[in-house]
């Protein structure tokens, strides 16, 4: 017994230990559970799809507008056939008839026969249908779209594109229909940086050339290699003309046409407000056309040109139209220069040119969203002319700025040389950044040697911020390539004053002379495509308050308590100018201080385009102080970014 009694406490102790151990095990398991992280999905969470619908909604105190009567259909369609295109119009500018009642925009459909496979939304009562086949019948239907997306009955027309019946006796012409567009034998594209390109178009632009880029306010300049030559004798006072057919700058930006009496690639400088432009080389003429909502055209001349004193009767400029080809003609006469837009004189200068031959520079400057300009034709009327035989030029490496004169030579003097040429002319454009040096102080280094440079136009002197084109003639044995056998290094040398920056080198090209009997080399792949278009844009929203008498309350102004009218506008032309095409509108949402108070769907019969809506708003219960209305336009296409506007006010 004595031996067994002590055994009981041992068993209790073991039991306690077991319990404690078990407790530790349970607690440990709990700790393990608490410390084990929840499973995490690998990779980023998916982005929710963009909103593409709007539901009708009205908060307390908000009264939504009612649709009212459906829109009227276009009264009739006017069609002007052109080469591989149809111009369809139904508004007052082109037909003399008013736009349909309750029109916020339009929907146009077209196709061969009765198969209407193409559709486009528009903010303007005119459309150009491109990339069509001459001699083929197309059916076109146009419907009016109101602010709620309701469609009218269609106006219908059938027409065939066709080439012009009586074409002009051009001395030079390009319709950009060859395999390679533009043909290197005929054209050079220049600019201040590698920010754009000239190519065959795609889709609706597939039968013409497109100039595309993201160059800000800097131009892309297309130069024909053939010079523009005037006739020896005038016909009805005309010596010759340059013709450009393009839809630029209907969307936005600028179009310039320069006539320069010398081998220049780029000219001009800061905007000059007078008709005499001191940034132009002597004897030069510049035509300048601006787009945006209000079109504007002018002719500028270099200082010192003779003046005839003759004036011309001018027609008013028609409003700029998006995507519509315009024929611009620069007419050089014995008594000055005229600018003709679609057969009407819209600008004139009495400056008389003294030259008989000039370089033509066609410049394209884009708008806020970039550049996308379609070109159908560039041609000359005048004395016979032709582009020189093409020797394919190498890539040029110029450096970014002028090198100080007298410093060591840096270009290679030995190695492979450019083949198939008897020499070349280097064309370089400089922009002085400080006090300008004199014109005869620049040289061009190439092949380990220096050659004198001269102004491309005799008499031009360097000026701060102004493009200054120079040229240098170089023999064939100096055209020494870099080790890659593709690049020709050149450097421009000139004075650099202490404490001042060197002149910038903004562009360069080389025209190589071909030996006798040579023919132009094949060049270009024909596979280049335009830079991507900016995505289609929605109508641009805005808002304002009206008091009980219908008077506008200024933005940020004090609104009285009671019922007011909130007028919401979606500007169709503003959206179409941004993207070139108008995106379909799903609806409008309105928020007050970040709280949704209204939703207006605009897809009754299909996507909306634009519109004006008036909402009744009760401000009785609003707190005193500042408030903000947010207007959000939402599209049916997820590719179109929503557009937002704000309207602050005080109660």
Name which residue leads in pLDDT, 16 or 227: 227
Q: What is the pLDDT of residues 278-290, one digit of tens each?
A: 999 999 999 999 9
Question: CA separation (Å) from 465 to 49, 254, 363, 493, 573?
Answer: 48, 20, 18, 18, 35
Strand, coil or helix: what is 43? coil
Rounded CA separation 342/319 (Å): 13
Has residue 409 got a pLDDT over 70?
Answer: yes
Has residue 20 got a pLDDT over 60?
Answer: no
Has residue 268 got a pLDDT over 90?
Answer: yes
- 157, 623 contact by CB (below 8 A): no
Question: CA separation (Å) from 403 to 410, 438, 535?
Answer: 10, 16, 43
Q: What is the pLDDT of residues 508-521, one digit of tens each?
A: 999 999 999 999 88
- 78, 88 contact by CB (below 8 A): yes
Has residue 632 got a pLDDT over 60?
Answer: yes
* 136-140, 206-210, 383-387, 559-563, range with the lowest pLDDT: 559-563
Residue 238 burial (C-beta neighbours within 10 Å; 0-12, 13-18, 19+): middle
Quickly count: other Cβ atoms within 10 Å of residue 549's Cβ: 5
Has residue 8 got a pLDDT over 70?
Answer: no
Which candidate, 624, 633, 622, 627, places its Cα nearest to that of 647?
627
Residue with tokens 């001018």: 314
What is the per-residue pLDDT for 216?
Answer: 92
Provide the residue ranges of all domains of the chain, joining segments of one domain with +.
57-66+535-650, 78-159, 172-381, 395-513
Rounded CA separation 538/575 (Å): 5
- 366, 253 contact by CB (below 8 A): yes
Has residue 37 got a pLDDT over 60?
Answer: no
Going by C-beta distance under 8 Å and a sequence separation of 6 or more, which residues neighbour residue 643? 537, 538, 539, 540, 541, 575, 632, 633
- 361, 227 contact by CB (below 8 A): no
Can you name the CATH fold of 78-159? Immunoglobulin-like (2.60.40)
**Local confidence band at 154 (pLDDT 50, 70, 90 cut-offs):** very high
Going by C-beta distance under 8 Å and a sequence separation of 6 or more, which residues neighbour residue 614? 65, 546, 565, 566, 567, 568
Has residue 443 got a pLDDT over 50?
Answer: yes
Q: What is the dihedral of CA 86, 89, 93, 98, to 10 degrees?
A: 170
Give the helix ranges, DSSP H, for 203-304. none
What is the per-residue pLDDT for 113?
Answer: 83
What is the per-residue pLDDT for 164?
Answer: 85
Mean per-residue pLDDT of the chain: 89
Going by C-beta distance under 8 Å and a sequence separation of 6 or more, which residues neighbour residue 468? 429, 430, 431, 432, 436, 455, 460, 462, 503
Strand, coil or helix: what is 381? strand
Residue with tokens 């819209």: 346
Which candidate, 635, 537, 583, 610, places its Cα nearest to that of 49?
635
Has residue 15 got a pLDDT over 90?
Answer: no
Rounded CA separation 552/571 (Å): 18
Architecture per CATH, 172-381:
Sandwich (2.60)
Has residue 4 got a pLDDT over 60?
Answer: no
Q: What is the pLDDT of residues 327-339, one digit of tens each?
A: 999 999 999 999 9
Specify the pTM: 0.88
Backbone angles phi, psi at 446, to 5 degrees: -155, 140
Architecture per CATH, 57-66+535-650:
Sandwich (2.60)
Same CATH fold, 172-381 and 57-66+535-650? no
How many helices (H) and strands (E) are present in the chain, helices listed first? 3, 43
Rounded CA separation 32/25 (Å): 10
Angle at 232 between CA 226 and CA 237, to 5 degrees: 105
Going by C-beta distance under 8 Å and a sequence separation of 6 or more, which residues neighbour residue 182? 174, 176, 189, 198, 209, 222
- 282, 459 contact by CB (below 8 A): yes
Half-sphere exposure of 614 (CA within 13 A, CB side): 10
Return the DSSP state at 103: -
The pLDDT of 346-356, averaged and rounded, is 98
Name which residue leads in pLDDT, 318 or 175: 175
What is the per-residue pLDDT for 2?
Answer: 36
String of DSSP letters for 438-491: PGGG-EEEETTEEEE-EESSTT----TTS-EEEEEEEEGGG-BPPTTSSEEEEE
Beta bridge partners of 545: 553, 566
What is the per-residue pLDDT for 578?
Answer: 86
**Local confidence band at 40 (pLDDT 50, 70, 90 cut-offs):** low
What is the per-residue pLDDT for 440?
Answer: 65
Quickly count: other Cβ atoms within 10 Å of residue 537's Cβ: 22
- Classify each residue of 345-383 as buried b or exposed e, where b means 16 or more C-beta atoms within 10 Å of its C-beta: ebbbbbbbbebbebbbbbbbbbbebbbbbbbbbbbbbbb
Q: What is the pLDDT of residues 453-491, one digit of tens each?
A: 999 999 999 999 999 999 999 999 999 999 988 999 999
Radius of gyration of the chain (CA): 34
Rounded CA separation 352/35 (Å): 90
What is the per-residue pLDDT for 549?
Answer: 78
Q: What is the pLDDT of residues 564-616, one digit of tens each?
A: 899 999 999 999 988 888 999 999 999 999 999 999 999 999 999 999 999 99
Strand, coil or helix: what is 541? strand
């Amino acid at each position: 017994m004595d031996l067994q009694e002590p055994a009981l406490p041992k068993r209790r102790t073991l039991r306690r230990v077991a319990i404690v151990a078990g407790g530790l095990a349970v607690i440990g398991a709990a700790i393990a559970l608490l410390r084990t992280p929840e499973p995490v999905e690998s990779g980023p969470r998916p982005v929710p799809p963009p909103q593409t619908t709007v539901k009708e909604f009205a908060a307390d105190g908000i009264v939504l507008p009612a649709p009212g009567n459906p829109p009227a259909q276009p009264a009739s369609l006017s069609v002007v056939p052109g080469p591989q295109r149809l111009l369809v119009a139904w508004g007052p500018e082109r037909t003399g008839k008013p736009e349909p009642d309750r029109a916020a925009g339009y929907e146009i459909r077209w196709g061969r026969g009765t198969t209407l496979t193409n559709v486009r939304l528009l903010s303007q009562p005119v459309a150009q249908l491109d990339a069509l086949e001459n001699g083929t019948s197309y059916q076109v239907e146009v419907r009016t779209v109101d602010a709620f997306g309701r469609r009218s009955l269609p106006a219908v027309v059938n027409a065939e594109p066709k080439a012009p019946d009586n074409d002009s006796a051009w001395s030079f012409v390009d319709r950009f229909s060859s395999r390679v567009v533009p043909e290197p034998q005929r054209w050079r594209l220049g600019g201040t940086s590698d920010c754009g390109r000239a190519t065959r178009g795609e889709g609706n632009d597939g039968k013409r050339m497109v100039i595309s880029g993201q160059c800000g306010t800097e131009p892309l300049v297309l130069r024909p290699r053939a010079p523009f030559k005037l006739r020896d004798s005038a016909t009805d006072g005309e010596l010759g003309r340059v013709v450009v057919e393009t839809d630029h700058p209907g969307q936005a930006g600028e179009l310039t046409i320069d006539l320069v009496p010398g081998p220049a690639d780029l000219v001009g400088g800061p905007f000059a407000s007078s008709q005499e432009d001191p940034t132009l080389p002597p004897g030069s003429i510049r035509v300048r056309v601006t787009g945006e909502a209000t079109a504007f055209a002018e002719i500028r001349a270099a200082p010192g040109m003779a003046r005839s004193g003759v004036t011309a009767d001018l027609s008013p400029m028609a409003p700029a139209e998006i995507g519509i080809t315009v024929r611009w003609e620069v007419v050089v006469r014995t008594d000055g220069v005229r600018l003709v837009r679609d057969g009407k004189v819209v600008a004139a200068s009495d400056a008389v040119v003294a030259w008989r031959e000039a370089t033509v520079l066609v410049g394209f400057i884009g708008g806020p969203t970039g550049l996308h300009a379609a070109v159908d034709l560039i041609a000359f009327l005048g004395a016979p002319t032709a582009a020189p035989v093409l020797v394919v030029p190498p890539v040029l490496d110029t450096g970014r700025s002028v090198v100080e004169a007298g410093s060591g030579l840096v270009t290679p003097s030995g190695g492979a040389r450019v083949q198939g040429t008897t020499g070349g002319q280097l064309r370089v454009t400089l922009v002085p950044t400080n006090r300008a040096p004199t014109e005869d102080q620049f040289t061009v280094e190439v092949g380990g040697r220096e050659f004198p440079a001269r102004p491309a136009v005799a008499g031009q002197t360097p000026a701060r911020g102004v493009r200054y084109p120079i040229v240098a003639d170089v023999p064939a044995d100096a055209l020494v390539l870099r080790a890659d056998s593709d690049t020709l290094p050149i450097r421009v040398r000139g004075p650099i004053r202490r404490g001042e920056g060197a002149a910038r080198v903004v562009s360069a090209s080389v025209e190589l002379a071909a030996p006798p009997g040579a023919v132009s080399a094949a060049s270009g792949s024909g596979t280049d495509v335009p830079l991507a278009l900016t995505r289609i844009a929605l109508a641009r929203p805005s808002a304002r308050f009206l008091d009980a008498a219908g008077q506008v309350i200024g933005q940020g102004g004090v609104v009285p308590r009671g019922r007011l009218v909130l007028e919401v506008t979606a500007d169709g032309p503003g959206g179409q100018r941004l993207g070139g095409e108008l995106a379909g509108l799903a609806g409008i949402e309105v928020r007050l201080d970040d709280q949704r108070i209204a939703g207006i769907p605009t897809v009754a019969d299909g996507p909306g385009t634009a519109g004006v809506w008036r909402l009744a708003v009760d401000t009785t219960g609003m707190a005193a102080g500042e408030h903000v209305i947010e207007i959000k336009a939402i599209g049916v296409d997820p590719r179109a970014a929503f557009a937002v506007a704000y309207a602050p006010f005080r109660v």
